[in-house]
Amino acid sequence: FPCQVIRNFSIIAHIDHGKSTLADRLLELTGTIPKKALGSNQQVLDKLKVERERGITVKAQTASMTHTVSGRKYLLNLIDTPGHVDFSWEVSRSLAACQGALLLVDATQGVQAQSISVFHIAKERRLKIIPVLNKIDMPASQPERIVAQLQSIFGIDPDEVLQISAKTGQGVDAVLQAIIERIPPPSASVDEPFKALLFDSHYDRYRGVISLVSIHNGVIRKGDKIASSHSRKKYEVQEVGIMHPEELPTTSLQPGQVGYIACNMKESSEAHVGDTLHRVGIPVDPMPGFQPIKAMVYAGIFPVDTNDFVKLEESIRRLTLTDRSVTCQRESSSALGQGCRLGFLGTLHMDVFRQRLEDEYDASIIVTAPTVPYKVVYRNNNTVIVSNPTEFPDLSDASTGVKEVHEPVVKASIIVPEDYLGEMMELCFSHRAEDVGHRFLDSGTTTSTRVILTCTIPLSEIVTDFFDKLKGRSSGYASFDYEDAGYKASDLSKARIKICMVFLLNGKPVDALALIVHRSAQQDVGKMWVKKLHKVIPRQLFEVPIQAAIGKKIIARETLKAVRADVTAGLYGGHYERKMKHLENQKESKRRMKRIGSVDLPQEAFFDILSTK
């Protein structure tokens, strides 16, 4: 395939606007997969179980297809992108390998928060954008209105907008046509030295790391010797091929093509996303890489059974090979034993990772409450990033020498119908939003107008239940997106400063349950958690005080009444076997007990506590 007949493109859209459905139709229409290969709700490109269950795309997948127009055969490379705020890093990475993008907008919903953010990422990368209205088969669709919206928000020419139903296939032919006609071919050359961008990778048990690359110049074949500009390590190419949509070996990868390379990379850390590959001995100018990933949310992950730590760590290591955006460090807790502290892009990302650990590695785990990374500046100007509540300094104690605490903030945008504007503003203000502003998106229509509300908001405010509240208080209409906006100093003089809250069982702190909370919220949070603990901790042989403390001060308390010891007490009537079985059971559950301050706490209790919101 010479460059002129290659088109590299992505589908970009707000979550649920129909990317995966359209991708499937394109694969079907080009004969890449048989029609209705899978159930209508199972998309081919969404490979992970968690993706199918939740209907969201987590990891970008790539597929190549061919299509013939007027007797000319074209090679179309589709690079799928995930559709959630947490994964915008993957979006920008996927787009680096494209020359064009289909901007897919649901004709019943119109432009949503992520439609705007992905549009800007694509614009920044100077991609040709093809606007596509989807779901026009639905009675609730309002094509004219949404076309007007695209024009007023993005300056898109209404004549360029395609109208389709990815579900029925209506109009999808025209999409293929537009990809070929409107998206420029990659500009690449066979004669220049080999140069390829590594934009993704996954791990194969037998062949090691498989790298997805887009070839900028030159040709690559099995047996070629290549090197990484990043690590300067050298490799011999074992296999090249395209994703069709499964791996399909080819004799070579030509300039402008997107495909995979297997070259005996043993460690996934060797496949540096954004790296430039070149031929050994013929170095090239590396292409600009990607910004390093930044973890936004941290949580501890511990095995339910402490003996499983080695297995858990291995599972986490394997899983991070397929999800490179997760950072991992060992952590140990007096209550939960050995575990790992992981950094995630957001809370959905964390949820997805947890579920994958459970699904794919059959791991029983406990996840501690999520925290954001705080920057603590000391009077001697030392700066420390604290991402674990137990390491958070006691700010009420002047001798700790803390000068300032900075917390991560994000620039958020929320799109809602005008009627909900007041409600949304209130929600933002109650979560410490600043610089709140708004702008009308479409006016002059008879139906309700939509507004985009923007603000700066501390990340810690949105990592818990902000998204749920947003949906709840807007009857599900609000869409939400955010981008990192750096750090901002918290005001240490006010009641709003952050403090570490610890819970005591029988006077002993349980480190795994520590939280960073606002001073102004300490009473409410303390009471709520103490109640929750009271509910899940089994009664003991003696009375157990459950307390919440800030520093040395106790701010909430519940008392767990004592229970009588003999579990067989109620079983008389003299059934010996039944009695023995009961004692056996008791022994079994003892093994999984954690002893804290002489209180026996089943591991499951932690699970109950930490899994309820």
Structure tokens, 245: 């949509």
Tell whether residue 110 is a contact of ligand GTP (CB under 6 A).
no
Identify the residue among 17, 195, 356, 594 touching ligand GTP (CB under 6 A): 17
Tell whether residue 19 is a contact of ligand GTP (CB under 6 A).
yes
Instruction: Report whether 134 belongs to an annotated binding site.
Output: yes
Identify the residue among 6, 15, 196, 550 touching ligand GTP (CB under 6 A): 15
Tell whether residue 13 is a contact of ligand GTP (CB under 6 A).
yes
Structure tokens, 171: 């109009």
Instruction: Report whether 18 belongs to an annotated binding site.
Output: yes
Residue carrying the six token digits 């991560």: 408
Contacts with ligand GTP: how many residues (CB under 6 A)? 19
Part of the chain binding ligand GTP (CB under 6 A), chosen from 16-24, 298-306, 378-386, 549-557:
16-24
Structure tokens, 163: 């109208």
Per-residue binding string, ligand GTP, 532-571, x by CB under 6 A, is ----------------------------------------
Part of the chain binding ligand GTP (CB under 6 A), chosen from 17-25, 364-372, 429-437, 482-490:
17-25
Instruction: Report whether 559 belongs to an annotated binding site.
Output: no
Nearer to ligand GTP, 41 or 251 (CB): 41
Q: What's the closest the beta carbon of residue 80 comes to ligand GTP, in angstroms?
A: 8
Nearer to ligand GTP, 115 or 490 (CB): 115
By CB under 6 A, the residues from 152 to 181 that bind ligand GTP are 165-167
Instruction: Report whether 16 belongs to an annotated binding site.
Output: yes
Nearer to ligand GTP, 138 or 583 (CB): 138
Q: What's the closest the beta carbon of residue 183 comes to ligand GTP, in angstroms?
A: 20
Helix (H) or strand (E) holding 119: helix 113-124
Tell whether residue 16 is a contact of ligand GTP (CB under 6 A).
yes
Tell whether residue 20 is a contact of ligand GTP (CB under 6 A).
yes
CB 324 within 8 A of CB 273: yes
User: Would you tell me how many other CB atoms lie within 10 Å of the CB of residue 137?
Assistant: 15
Annotate 462-479 with b (16+ C-beta within 10 A) or e (fewer). Answer: bbeebbeebeebbeebbb
Q: What's the closest the beta carbon of residue 49 comes to ligand GTP, in angstroms?
A: 14
Part of the chain binding ligand GTP (CB under 6 A), chosen from 130-138, 377-385, 435-443, 602-610:
130-138
Q: Which residues pair with 7 in a beta bridge?
A: 76
Quickly list H helices, 391-458: 421-429
Instruction: Report whether 278 belongs to an annotated binding site.
Output: no
Part of the chain binding ligand GTP (CB under 6 A), chosen from 11-19, 213-221, 350-358, 510-518:
11-19
Identify the residue among 6, 9, 12, 21 touching ligand GTP (CB under 6 A): 21
Q: Which of 170, 87, 89 is nearest to 135 (CA)?
A: 170
Nearer to ligand GTP, 13 or 76 (CB): 13
Cis peptide bond upstream of 193, omega within 30: no
Q: Cα separation of 211 and 259, whole Å?
A: 8
Q: Cα separation of 380 and 402, whole Å?
A: 9
Part of the chain binding ligand GTP (CB under 6 A), chosen from 53-61, 152-160, 259-267, 562-570:
53-61
Instruction: Report whether 137 belongs to an annotated binding site.
Output: yes
Nearer to ligand GTP, 17 or 498 (CB): 17
Structure tokens, 166: 């990815």
Identify the residue among 57, 77, 99, 603 touching ligand GTP (CB under 6 A): 57
By CB under 6 A, the residues from 454 to 483 that bind ligand GTP are none
CB 420 within 8 A of CB 389: no
Q: Please enumerate in sequence order all residues whose Cβ is within 8 A of that of 227, keeping only pairs 6 or more positions apart, or say none.
A: 233, 234, 235, 277, 278, 279, 280, 283
CB 220 within 8 A of CB 194: yes
Per-residue binding string, ligand GTP, 132-151, x by CB under 6 A, is --xx-xx-------------
CB 279 within 8 A of CB 227: yes
CB 457 within 8 A of CB 467: no
Instruction: Report whether 506 belongs to an annotated binding site.
Output: no
Q: What's the closest the beta carbon of residue 85 comes to ligand GTP, in angstroms?
A: 11
CB 299 within 8 A of CB 373: no
Instruction: Report whether 15 belongs to an annotated binding site.
Output: yes
Helix (H) or strand (E) holding 609: helix 603-611
Q: Cα separation of 516 and 321, whole Å?
A: 31
Instruction: Report whether 308 belongs to an annotated binding site.
Output: no
Nearer to ligand GTP, 35 or 439 (CB): 35
By CB under 6 A, the residues from 71 to 100 that bind ligand GTP are 83
Instruction: Report whether 307 belongs to an annotated binding site.
Output: no
- The DSSP symbol for 245 reads S
Identify the residue among 18, 241, 255, 408 touching ligand GTP (CB under 6 A): 18
Q: What's the closest the beta carbon of residue 13 comes to ligand GTP, in angstroms?
A: 5
Q: Please enumerate in sequence order all residues whose Cβ is within 8 A of that of 575, keeping only pairs 6 or more positions apart, or say none.
A: none
Instruction: Report whether 397 belongs to an annotated binding site.
Output: no
Q: What's the closest the beta carbon of residue 175 comes to ligand GTP, in angstroms?
A: 12
Q: Cα separation of 234 and 497, whole Å?
A: 51
Tell whether residue 55 is a contact of ligand GTP (CB under 6 A).
yes
Q: What's the closest the beta carbon of residue 180 comes to ligand GTP, in angstroms?
A: 22
Nearer to ligand GTP, 136 or 271 (CB): 136
Instruction: Report whether 80 belongs to an annotated binding site.
Output: yes
Q: Cα separation of 78 and 94, whole Å?
A: 10
Q: Which of 162, 239, 248, 174 is nearest to 208 (CA)?
A: 239
Q: What is the 3-state secondary structure (H, E, C) of 134-157?
A: ECCCCCCCCHHHHHHHHHHHHCCC
Instruction: Report whether 143 belongs to an annotated binding site.
Output: no
Instruction: Report whether 106 belongs to an annotated binding site.
Output: no
Nearer to ligand GTP, 105 or 499 (CB): 105
- Dmax over Cα atoms in the chain, in whole Å? 92
How far is CA 315 from each of CA 351, 356, 460, 511, rounded to the nearest angstrom?
16, 10, 28, 24
Tell whether residue 111 is a contact of ligand GTP (CB under 6 A).
no
Q: Which residues pair with 71 in a beta bridge?
A: none
Q: Hey, is 10 helix, strand or coil? A: strand
Nearer to ligand GTP, 62 or 387 (CB): 62
Instruction: Report whether 582 belongs to an annotated binding site.
Output: no
Q: Which residue is nearest to ligand GTP (CB)?
A: 83
Nearer to ligand GTP, 4 or 42 (CB): 42
Q: Report, in this order, helix, strand and coil percent for the chain, each rounded to 5.
A: 30, 35, 35
Structure tokens, 98: 């494209």
How far is CA 430 from each of CA 96, 322, 478, rounded to the nearest angstrom?
38, 38, 17
Residue ranges of the annotated binding site are 13-20, 80-84, 134-137
Residue ranges of the annotated binding site for GTP are 13-20, 80-84, 134-137
Where on the chain is the footprint of ligand GTP (CB under 6 A)?
13, 15-21, 55-57, 83, 134-135, 137-138, 165-167
